Amino acid sequence: MAERRPAAGSNGRANTVMAMLALCGVIVSLQQTMVVPLLPEFPTLLGISVDDASWLVTATLLTGAVSTPVVSRLADMYGKRRMIVVALAVMVTGSVLGALAHEHFAAVILARVLQGVGMALVPVGMAMMRDVLPAERVPLGVSLMSGTLAIGAGAGLPLAGLLVDRFAWYSIFWATALVGAALLVGAVRILPESPLATGGRFDLPGAVVLSAGLCLALLSVSKGGQWGWTAPVTLGTAAGGAALLALWVPMTLRAAHPLIDLRAASRPAVALVNFCAVLTGFGMFANMLITTQRLQLPTADGLGLTTLESGLWLAPGALVFGFMAPVAAAMIRRLGAELTLAVGGGTMCAAYALRTFFDSTLFEVVAGSIVVSAGTSLAFAAMPVLIMAMAPITETASANGLNTLLRALGTSTSSATLAAVGAASTVVVAGVPYPSGDALVTVLWFAAAASGAALLVALSLLLVRPGGAPGRSVLS
Round to whole Å and give the CA distance between 367 and 225.
Answer: 30
pLDDT digits (tens, 9 = 90+) for 174-186: 999 999 999 999 9
Q: Superfamily for 11-202+257-473?
A: MFS general substrate transporter like domains (1.20.1250.20)
CA distances from 389 to 21, 166, 188, 199, 272 (A): 20, 47, 28, 20, 14
HEC readout, 184-252: HHHHHHHCCCCCCCCCCCCCHHHHHHHHHHHHHHHHHHHHHHHHCCCCHHHHHHHHHHHHHHHHHHHHH
pLDDT at res. 468:
43
The answer to whether 118 and 28 are in contact (CB under 8 A) is yes
pLDDT digits (tens, 9 = 90+) for 156-170: 777 877 787 788 888
Round to whole Å and give the CA distance between 303 and 295.
Answer: 5
Angle, alpha carbons 352-358-359 (nearest 5°): 80
3-state DSSP assignment of residue 433: strand
pLDDT at res. 341:
94
Round to whole Å and give the CA distance between 159 and 140.
Answer: 27
Helix (H) or strand (E) holding 407: helix 396-424
pLDDT at res. 4:
47
Round to whole Å and give the CA distance between 177 and 174.
Answer: 5
3-state DSSP assignment of residue 427: strand
The answer to whether 222 and 238 are in contact (CB under 8 A) is no
HSE toward the beta carbon, residue 80, CA cutoff 13 A: 31
pLDDT at res. 138:
83
CA distances from 228 to 232, 236, 447 (A): 9, 12, 23
**Dihedral over alpha carbons 458, 462, 463, 468 (to 10 degrees):** 140
pLDDT at res. 55:
83
3-state DSSP assignment of residue 41: coil
In the predicted model, residues of the chain with pLDDT beneath 50 are: 1-5, 467-476
The answer to whether 389 and 340 are in contact (CB under 8 A) is no
Type of residue found at 150? A
- Backbone φ and ψ for 389, nearest 5 degrees, come out as -70, -30
CA distances from 21 to 29, 120, 183, 341, 469 (A): 13, 12, 9, 23, 27
**Dihedral over alpha carbons 38, 40, 42, 43 (to 10 degrees):** 180
**CB-neighbour burial class of residue 199 (10 A; exposed 0-12, middle 13-18, buried 19+):** exposed
| CB crowding 154-181: b at 16 or more within 10 Å, else e | bbbbbbbbebbeeeebbbbbbbbbebbb
pLDDT at res. 39:
73
**Dihedral over alpha carbons 159, 119, 382, 352 (to 10 degrees):** 50
Type of residue found at 422? G
pLDDT at res. 465:
60
pLDDT at res. 64:
86
The answer to whether 17 and 132 are in contact (CB under 8 A) is yes
Round to whole Å and give the CA distance between 352 and 448.
Answer: 5
Q: Where are the domains of the chain?
A: 11-202+257-473, 203-256
Q: Identify how many contiguous H helices and E strands the chain contains and give both numbers.
A: 18, 2
Reduced DSSP (H G I as helix, E B as strand, rest coil) percent helix, strand, coil of the chain, to 5? 80, 0, 20
